[in-house]
Amino acid sequence: MSLKGDVCVVTGAGGFLGRRLVKLLLEEEKMAEIRLLDKHVEPQLLQTLEDCRGDTKLSVFEGDIRDGDFLRKTCRGASIVFHIASIIDVIEAVEYREIYGVNVKGTQLLLEACVQENVVSFIYTSTIEVMGPNPQGEPIVNGTEDTVYHCALKFSYSKTKREAEERTLQAHGEMLQNGGRLATCALRPMYIYGEGCRFLLGHMGDGIGNRDVLFRMSRPEALVNPVYVGNVAVAHLQAARSLKDPRKRNTVGGKFYFVSDDTPPVSYSDFNHAVMAPLGFNIQEKLVLPLSLLYVICFFLEMVCMMLRPLKRIVPPMNQQLLTMLNTPFSFSYQKAKTDLGYAPRYTWEEARRRTTEWLASQLPQQRAKRRAR
């Protein structure tokens, strides 16, 4: 089902995934208009999209996702919303009120704007972290949408993303102002990598500071399955096509889908090495300290920071839940997305790795210069 002639809104359009999705939409669909919603959209982004824009109108809407009037203005006349924008935080650096306001209230306001402005399709970018891992570190290997997993989420990020996802799916079938019905679905990508991934830059910077040796914070046996950003963008496009298709709308609507690809299962630390080894980086053979000792250190750091919080907010670089996430086998299949959405990874692991490594290579001189300047 083509999206030709549609008007769509992409929230977080200036970000890592958002800009990749906008480019894909321009290349594959002759849409009437794409509205780029973000707090700030860099002018150079529009310049890079000019070559593939064709007859599609590109409009920039800069504002706050927590502003209901702004959202209604952005959604007016649109038929599809891709809601990607959120605050990502796994070290609890952001105050809970702030992250809840953006991730949950912002999503709710956007859903309400869709109802008021008769937007018929809403695709929410969730995350694997709404599933876990739980604080006990219970593993999941090749899980599916039917996998039962008992989890009391610890991160503010995962809690707020889970609530926003639930609100999105509950809104499926809600009546629009014109008497139509809203269709929603949610996508749960694995850890997303590729050109523009700020986490990879951070790991590379740390490795440079450690004489080109990457730190090991994950046990080799803690296998996860990262997903390439280009494939995640394809999954979003397929979700929009499915929600527009009358034959699939009720099958897909109100459901969530895991999004992975054929990136080989690997630990987070070994993944960093896989994409940086061609640049001359090595990796520590063992964890920086025994895992049990790391948990003890994280516990005391968290206690000290908690006691100091009335005087000063200090955020430790590592916490117990992040340590659990980095050391728990946690992988999921994309078969249901393949069956229901028609999703198939467009980029092989070899191509995704090559593209990622080439981008990291282009950033390497700047990262080395930053380290020398410290």
Q: Model confidence over 123-172: pLDDT tens digits?
A: 999 999 999 999 889 999 999 999 999 887 778 999 999 999 999 999 99
Alpha carbon of residue 113 to chain centroid: 23
Mean pLDDT across 346-354: 97
pLDDT surpasses 80 at 289: yes
Which tens digits make up the pLDDT trace of 22-38?
999 999 988 999 999 99
pLDDT value of residue 242: 96
Percent over 70 (pLDDT), the chain: 100
Helix (H) or strand (E) holding 188: strand 183-189
Pairing state of beta strands 33-38 and 57-62?
parallel
Residue 133's CATH number = 3.40.50.720
Which tens digits make up the pLDDT trace of 50-95?
888 788 999 999 999 999 999 999 999 999 999 999 999 888 888 8
- What are the Cα distances from residue 177, in Å, to 65, 301, 342? 21, 52, 31
Based on the residue annotation, tell me whether 157 is a catalytic residue of this protein.
Answer: yes
204 within domain boundaries: no
pLDDT value of residue 63: 94
pLDDT value of residue 30: 87
pLDDT surpasses 80 at 374: no
d(CA 7, CA 53): 14
203 within domain boundaries: no
367 within domain boundaries: no
Structural domain boundaries, residue 17: 7-196+226-264+329-347
- What are the Cα distances from residue 69, in Å, to 104, 149, 204, 292, 353? 17, 39, 41, 50, 42
Catalytic residue selected from 100, 124, 157, 334: 157
Beta carbons of 195 and 229 less than 8 angstroms apart: yes
82 within domain boundaries: yes
213-223 core/surface letters (b: 16 or more CB in 10 A; e: else): ebbbbbbeebb
What pTM value is reported for the model? 0.95
Beta carbons of 315 and 93 less than 8 angstroms apart: yes
Which tens digits make up the pLDDT trace of 205-240?
999 999 999 999 999 999 999 999 999 999 999 999
pLDDT value of residue 100: 96
d(CA 332, CA 143): 4
301 within domain boundaries: no
218 within domain boundaries: no
26 within domain boundaries: yes
Helix (H) or strand (E) holding 22: helix 16-28
Strand partners, 38: 62
Which tens digits make up the pLDDT trace of 236-267?
999 999 999 999 998 999 999 999 999 999 99
364 within domain boundaries: no
| Mean pLDDT of the chain, nearest integer | 93
Higher pLDDT, 144 or 310: 144
Instruction: Give helix 198-209 / helix 268-276 axis angle, nearest 10°.
Output: 80
Overall number of domains in the chain: 1
d(CA 74, CA 67): 11
pLDDT surpasses 90 at 41: no
Beta carbons of 85 and 52 less than 8 angstroms apart: no
d(CA 118, CA 238): 21
